[in-house]
C-alpha cells in the first residue's frame, strides 16, 4: 500500500531566499544591460533572458515539500539529493504568519510557505506528535 503524500511549495529562510533571488535577478539585469548596449536585438540578450526564466521557474516550482506519514522530504533547486527529515526527529515546531521553524538534531531550519499550506502543515505536525 502506498503512503499518502501531500506536496507543498516552499522558499528557504528569508536571508537565503534574498541572496538566491538576487543572484537570479543579476542574470536578468545582465541581459537587460546587453539589450540596451546595442540598438538591435542580440542573441546574447535572448540567451540571458532565457536562462533567467529557466532558473526562476526552477526556483519557484522545484522547491517542494512532500509530506508522508513518516517523513518530510524537501527537494532543492539544483541538488539531486533531497533532504529527508523523519517526523520523529522534529523538535520545537514554531509557526508564524508564513514561516515554519523546526529543530532537527540541534539544527534550526526555517522555511516559508503560503498561509494555507502552513495551516495544513501545522495540523499535520500536531496530529503526528500526539500520535
Residue with cell 540567451: 47
* Structural domains in the chain (count): 1
Vertex 72: Cα angle to 90 and 22 (nearest 5): 100
pLDDT tens figures, 14-35 = 999 999 999 999 999 999 998 8
Output the nine-digit C-alpha cell for 102.
Answer: 523546526
Query: What pLDDT, on the 0 to 100 scale, is given for residue 29?
Result: 95
Q: pLDDT grade, residue 36 (50/70/90)?
A: confident
Q: pLDDT grade, residue 37 (50/70/90)?
A: confident
Is there a contact between 110 and 13 (Cβ–Cβ < 8 Å)? yes
Output the nine-digit C-alpha cell for 24.
Answer: 537570479
Is residue 29 domain-resident?
Answer: yes
Is residue 70 domain-resident?
Answer: yes
Range of the domain at 47: 6-130
Mean pLDDT across 93-116: 93
Is residue 1 domain-resident?
Answer: no
116 has a pLDDT exceeding 80 = yes
Which domain CATH number covers 44? Answer: 2.30.29.30
Query: What pLDDT, on the 0 to 100 scale, is given for residue 3?
Result: 66
Whole-prediction pTM value?
Answer: 0.81
Amino acid at each position: 500500500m502506498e503512503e499518502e503524500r501531500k506536496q507543498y511549495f516552499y522558499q528557504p529562510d528569508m536571508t537565503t531566499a534574498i541572496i538566491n533571488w538576487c543572484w537570479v535577478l543579476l542574470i536578468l539585469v545582465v541581459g537587460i544591460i546587453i539589450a540596451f548596449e546595442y540598438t538591435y536585438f542580440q542573441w546574447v540578450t535572448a540567451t540571458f533572458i532565457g536562462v533567467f526564466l529557466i532558473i526562476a521557474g526552477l526556483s519557484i516550482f522545484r522547491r517542494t515539500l512532500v509530506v508522508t506519514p513518516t517523513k518530510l522530504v524537501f527537494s532543492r533547486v539544483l541538488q539531486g539529493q533531497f533532504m529527508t527529515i523523519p517526523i520523529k526527529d522534529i523538535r520545537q515546531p514554531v509557526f508564524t504568519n508564513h514561516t515554519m521553524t523546526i529543530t532537527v538534531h540541534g539544527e534550526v531550519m526555517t522555511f516559508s510557505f503560503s498561509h494555507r499550506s502552513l495551516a495544513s502543515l501545522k495540523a499535520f505536525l500536531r496530529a503526528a506528535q500526539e500520535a
